[in-house]
Chains A and B, each alone.
Chain A
């Protein structure tokens, strides 16, 4: 049974860095047949894919252009987890953030974390 458990602060000050972690059980972050994604959702922006990381003999990352200058997705294979860092946040980054797995056979995100509401406010 695949489970994704998110952790991280729910309140971040403007201009600071949003950091979230997604711990994986039942699969491996180093899997050659999955990618690991971050998606956020807000009333104003709807569902927005932010980026992904995946391993195919080496690590790859893809990021949405809208956040490309501010985002970093990293992995920790020893803890079987991946993380999101979003720099220089503004109130517009206030959203529910989800991590997710996309199995290669599916393509779309098939397993999701529980979601973390992150509010950007001083």
Chain B
């Protein structure tokens, strides 16, 4: 199985800050990488797929980058509604796997 290692596991940031979450795959995943946001009691929401493609309706302050085994989710100008848990997800190889999550708190 491909292991997905996310960092940090939690962070606290202020409105207007730029936030970066990273994800490292245990092997090459050819940009088959997605990012999700999850709020308490809700299903994950797709933000980014194919490493950098923004899902329709997702604010442009979210962006994805990376290649090979290392990927990054960046949130520019953090908004109060951006709190929640963020997960990376590889869909390159079965079984698909997820990172352990990053809990984002708004100061």
Contact = CB atoms under 8 A, between A and B. Distances in A.
Judge: A and B partners, yes or no.
Answer: yes
Interface of A: 46-49, 62, 64-66, 98, 100, 102, 106-110, 112-115
Nearest 4 pairs between A and B by C-beta?
A108-B34, A112-B43, A47-B98, A49-B96
B103 to A, nearest CB: 12
A100 B46 CA distance: 11
For the side of the interface on B, what is the size category?
Answer: 20 to 34
Contacts of B97: 49
Interface string B29-51: 00010100000001111100110
B46 A110 contact: yes
B49 A107 contact: yes
Mostly, the A contact residues are mixed
Given A48-B98, A49-B96, A108-B34, A102 B44 contact: no
Interface of B: 1, 32, 34, 42-46, 49-50, 55, 87, 89, 91, 94-98, 100-101
Given A47-B98, A107-B34, A115 B46 contact: no
Contacts of B1: 65
Contacts of B43: 98, 100, 112-115
